[in-house]
Structure 1
């Protein structure tokens, strides 16, 4: 089952001419094929398979991931190195090797390690509002949440600390906004890559602006040099990739709650002395760290904005959630833990439903 495509434009004409949003387009497709487990459409000239069935999604992305290689990304590293070298665009054995390196970063034990870093960002975020000492304080929710997610990504993926609520114009925040901007010329470049990839390669169009790419390369290089010289260890993505580069993969056997679909199965490899098949360069590490920006910068802040809206519109839900938060913090003596968050059933319901 699929939607009949138009020449060249496929099924993307309504999105291209701004007659509908990607979200509404996806929702309409979902309703059109309400009884199907999967269905097809065309993104310009490329056929796209949409998977609806949850079990099938898990089978493809987790259990049988190694059978579904080579994404349809057409951006190669000779045109845009940071996008071309990311896991999203790698192909064949190189993709398999990179995925094997990155997967241990998303186990429950590694998430628990990184939880402390995100918690620190939350504390700084809270302190900012406490310092205002006002009964009523007006903010633009999307902006304030984007600044929080920016700080969380900076500390977890790049080992870089920045308080974007206090320091509104810090360079990391500005460059992250540039790297994720999807309007104007950026949209036109994406359209050309999707519709006429050969022309895009010939013109050597880069999706990430040069100033942003240069900035993130410098951040990663400086961090790597500092840690290698001083022997610094910090529980973040950079550290995990540094371990992978040297061939050391450590498995933490301590008990942690199962993060469900959000986490991968714990690695069974202990202190492997063998060198990884894929040699990770500074550029490779930067490319993988950038996935966090493209995957989490706008998405997480948008979700948080919708949660804030729904809680404002549903006061009884807000009160019930606040009671659970207060109860959890009381049990933790004011210091939230990874395990405590997993016990917050109502919080999980609110986030999941939003």
Structure 2
């Protein structure tokens, strides 16, 4: 009886082992070897070439005014003050140096018989200050000299009828005194910096890489986000190329940047601040786009995409348009909204 029982146990164990072997799951070889292809979809919508960079709210770039006459500085405009046409910037030996408006620097003495654009610029300023009795043209006439003497008397200058180049400073408009570079009592030497000035309007200044120059065109609108979350619309008013010199042991490399000046509506409560500046170079509406990763370089040139269907896949050639935010505009006779395309890994 004991031997028969032992045989029965062995038989049962063997059968159980066979059943377990037959029921062992076939997927034990590893699920990782079976991967689904990555795909994207052709979608229709608006594609915009945009970029947000940090800008600085302030009064724009500054300029240093240098003295062109020698003597002793006896007065300087206050820091933060606004100096307008006809007003005094500083005094040397108690004689004023006056701000006038224009883009042509004073480079010579103006007296009767002199002709040129600088004469007309001076006469335009005299007229704007309310003086009459002369003709605004490019000729410094006796009538002009008579008016200049009246102007000099009002300023407390000797009535010579001659305007020396160091007595006036020309700027495109009113200026804001950003800093003093000398003090009252200092000796004024020709070429010595006296005041640092800027414009009077609040602006946002942004420096872009040369590769992003397409973003900034004069007159275009930009979105400005202030530190408190307030959003304002600005307008690009000036675009210029500047060269920044790095200082590494005195021998830094130079970097070319695109400096963009943006006008904005009045801002209160902020003297200077960092501002998020969103540029939009171009917008394409109702266009078909795919992820940039879907593009394939074709042997014959150009680009194509792999179209995935339930029965397989095939390549189609496409024309590319705007690239933005990881997507690209595509077109072609076989491109339709909703197509599934492959995304090569």
For the aligned pair, the TM-score class normalised by the smaller chain equals under 0.3
More strand by share: 2
Q: Which has the higher contact order (CA 8 A, sep 6+)?
A: 2
More helix by share: 1
- From the CA coordinates, give the structure whose radius of gyration is larger: 2
